[in-house]
Amino acid sequence: MNKRTALALLATLALAGPWQARAEELTEEQIQQIIEKAKPYIEAEVQRRVKEELEKQKATERVAAPAPTPTPVAEPKPWTPSQPIPLFRAGPAYMNISFDSLINFGWSTEPEGLLNLGGHDPAQRGFSLSNEEIVFEGAVDPYFKGVADIVMSLDEDGETAVELEEVYILTTSLPWSLQLKGGQFFTEFGRHNAQHPHQWAFVDQPLVLNRLFGPDGMRNPGARLSWLAPTPWFTEALLTVFNGQGETAFSFRNEESIEIHGGEPVERGLRGPQDLVFVPRLATSFELGETQSILLGASAAFGPNNSGRHACTQIYGGDFYWKWRPENAEAGFPFVSWQTEGIFRRYEADDRMTPDDPPGSAVPLPDENLHDWGIYSQLLWGFHRGWVAGMRGEFVSGDDGKFESDLRVDRTRLSPNLTFYPSEFSKLRLQYNYDHLQQWGDEHSVWLQLEFLLGAHAAHKF
Amino acid sequence: MKAYKVVVAAVLGGLASLATAHAKLNVVCTTPDLGALAREIGGPLVEVRSIGRPNENPHFVEAKPSYIVALNRADVLIEVGLELEIGWLPALLDQTRNAKIRKGSPGRLNAGTVIQPLEVPAAAVDRSMGDVHASGNPHYMMDPERAKIVAQAITDRFAKVDVANAGAYADNLKKLLARIEAAEAEAKKLLEPYRGAKIVTYHKSLSYLADRYGLNVVNTVEPKPGIPPSPSHIAALIDQMKADKVKAVLIEPWYDRSVPELLAEKTGAKVVIVPLLVGGEPETQDYPSLVKLVAKRVAQTLGGGP
pLDDT tens readout for residues B271-282: 999 998 999 888
Tell me whether B65 touches chain A (CB under 8 Å): yes
CA B40, CA A417: separation in Å to the nearest integer? 49
Domain ranges of chain B: 20-185, 187-302
Q: What pTM did the predictor assign?
A: 0.81
Share of chain A above pLDDT 70, in %: 85
β-pair type (A411-423, A144-154): unpaired
Regarding whether A90 and A37 lie in a shared domain, the answer is no
Q: How many domains does chain A have?
A: 2
Under the banding of pLDDT at 50, 70 and 90, the label for residue B172 is: very high
pLDDT per position as a tens digit, A174-210: 999 999 999 999 999 999 999 999 999 999 999 999 9
Q: A28 vs B295, which has greater pLDDT?
A: B295
Opening angle at CA A112, ends A106 and A116, nearest 5? 60
Nearest to B67 by CA among B38, B26, B111, B30: B30
Q: Looking at the predicted structure, is the pLDDT value of residue B188 above 50?
A: yes
Under the banding of pLDDT at 50, 70 and 90, the label for residue A89 is: very low
Pick from B64, B88, B146 the residue to mutate for testing the A interface (most A CBs within 10 Å).
B64
Asked, colleague to colleague, whether B20-185 and B187-302 share their fold, the answer is yes
Please answer yes or no on whether B122 and A286 come within 8 Å at the CB atom. no
Instruction: Tell me what ipTM this predicted complex has.
Output: 0.84
**Backbone phi and psi for residue B169, each to the nearest 5 degrees, phi listed first:** -65, -40
Regarding whether A132 and A49 lie in a shared domain, the answer is no
B187-302: CATH topology is Rossmann fold (3.40.50)
Question: Which residue is closest to A84 within chain B, CA to CA?
Answer: B124
- For B:14-43, CB contacts with A below 8 A are none
pLDDT per position as a tens digit, A95-106: 889 999 999 999
Please, what CATH class does the domain formed by B20-185 belong to? alpha beta
Nearest to B122 among A71, A231, A285 (CB): A71
Q: Looking at the predicted structure, is the pLDDT value of residue A5 above 60?
A: no
CA A186, CA A208: separation in Å to the nearest integer? 16
Q: A15 vs A233, which has greater pLDDT?
A: A233
- Cβ proximity of B97 and A177 under 8 Å: yes
Q: Looking at the predicted structure, is the pLDDT value of residue A87 above 50?
A: no
Nearest to B97 among A72, A174, A231 (CB): A174
pLDDT at B132: 84
Tell me whether B78 touches chain A (CB under 8 Å): no
Mapping DSSP onto H, E and C, the string for B130-195 reads CCCCCCCCCCHHHCHHHHHHHHHHHHHHHHHHCHHHHHHHHHHHHHHHHHHHHHHHHHHHHHHHHC
pLDDT at A59: 54
pLDDT at B5: 58
Question: Which residue is closest to A68 within chain B, CA to CA?
Answer: B116
Q: B304 vs A199, which has greater pLDDT?
A: A199
Alpha-carbon dihedral angle through residues B285, B287, B293, B294, given to the nearest 10 degrees: 130
Share of chain A above pLDDT 90, in %: 61
Under the banding of pLDDT at 50, 70 and 90, the label for residue A458 is: confident
Give a yes or no: residue A264 inside a domain. yes
- Cβ proximity of A437 and A425 under 8 Å: no
Regarding whether A335 and A297 lie in a shared domain, the answer is yes
Regarding whether A90 and A25 lie in a shared domain, the answer is no
pLDDT per position as a tens digit, A37-56: 777 777 777 777 777 777 66
Rg of chain A on CA atoms, in Å: 33
Give a yes or no: residue A386 inside a domain. yes
Q: What is the CATH number of the domain that holds A163?
A: 2.40.160.10
Mapping DSSP onto H, E and C, the string for chain B reads CHHHHHHHHHHHHHHHHHHHHCCCEEEEECCHHHHHHHHHHHHHHEEEEECCCCCCCHHHCCCCHHHHHHHHCCCEEEECCCCCCCCCHHHHHCCCCCHHHCCCCCCEEEHHHCCCCCCCCCCCCCHHHCCCCCCCCCCHHHCHHHHHHHHHHHHHHHHHHCHHHHHHHHHHHHHHHHHHHHHHHHHHHHHHHHCCCEEEECCHHHHHHHHHHCCEEEEECCCCCCCCCCHHHHHHHHHHHHHHCCCEEEECCCCCCHHHHHHHHHHCCEEEECCCCCCCCCCCCCHHHHHHHHHHHHHHHHCCCC
pLDDT at B9: 53
Mean pLDDT, range A99-127, rounded to an integer: 92
- For A:2-61, CB contacts with B below 8 A are none
Give a yes or no: residue A27 inside a domain. yes
Give a yes or no: residue A433 inside a domain. yes
pLDDT per position as a tens digit, A292-341: 999 999 999 999 999 999 999 999 999 999 999 998 888 889 999 999 99
Nearest to B276 by CA among B140, B127, B116: B140
pLDDT per position as a tens digit, A371-410: 999 999 999 999 999 999 999 999 999 987 888 788 889 9
Please answer yes or no on whether B64 and A287 come within 8 Å at the CB atom. yes
Nearest to A37 by CA among A64, A16, A53, A17: A16
Please answer yes or no on whether A458 and B90 come within 8 Å at the CB atom. yes
Provide CB contacts within 8 A for A158, sequence distance 6+.
none
Mean pLDDT, range A431-456, rounded to an integer: 93
Nearest to A242 by CA among A216, A215, A194, A278: A278
Under the banding of pLDDT at 50, 70 and 90, the label for residue B114 is: very high
Domain of A50, in residue numbers: 3-60
CA B45, CA B43: separation in Å to the nearest integer? 5
Nearest to B204 by CA among B217, B194, B195: B217
Regarding whether A191 and A109 lie in a shared domain, the answer is yes
Mean pLDDT, range B229-233, rounded to an integer: 93
Give a yes or no: residue A387 inside a domain. yes
pLDDT per position as a tens digit, A254-275: 999 998 998 999 999 898 999 9
Give a yes or no: residue A330 inside a domain. yes
Please answer yes or no on whether B119 and A71 come within 8 Å at the CB atom. yes
Give a yes or no: residue A108 inside a domain. yes
Question: Which residue is closest to B130 within chain A, CA to CA?
Answer: A423
Under the banding of pLDDT at 50, 70 and 90, the label for residue A25 is: low
Mapping DSSP onto H, E and C, the string for chain A reads CCHHHHHHHHHHHHHCHHHHHCHHHCCHHHHHHHHHHHHHHHHHHHHHHHHHHHHHHHHHHCCCCCCCCCCCCCCCCCCCCCCCCCCCCCCCCCCEEEEEEEEEEEEECCCCCCCCCCCCCCCCCEEEEEEEEEEEEEECCCCEEEEEEEEEEECCCCCEEEEEEEEEEEECCCCCCEEEEEEEEECCCCCCCCCCHHHCCCCCCCHHHHHHHCCCCCEEEEEEEEEECCCCCEEEEEEEEECCECHHHCCCECCCCHHHHCCCCCCCCCCCHHHCEEEEEEEEEEEECCCEEEEEEEEEEEEECCCCCCCEEEEEEEEEEEEECCCCCECCECEEEEEEEEEEEEEEECCEECCCCCCCCCCEECCEEEEEEEEEEEEEEEEECCEEEEEEEEEEEECCCCCCCCCCCCEEEEEEEEEEEEECCEEEEEEEEEEEECCCEEEEEEEEEEEEEEECCCCCCC
Give a yes or no: residue A76 inside a domain. no
Question: Which residue is closest to A291 within chain B, CA to CA?
Answer: B62
pLDDT at A76: 42
Opening angle at CA A394, ends A389 and A399, nearest 5? 175
Q: CA of A86, closest CA in chain B: separation in Å?
A: 8
Q: Looking at the predicted structure, is the pLDDT value of residue A66 above 60?
A: no
β-pair type (A178-186, A160-171): antiparallel
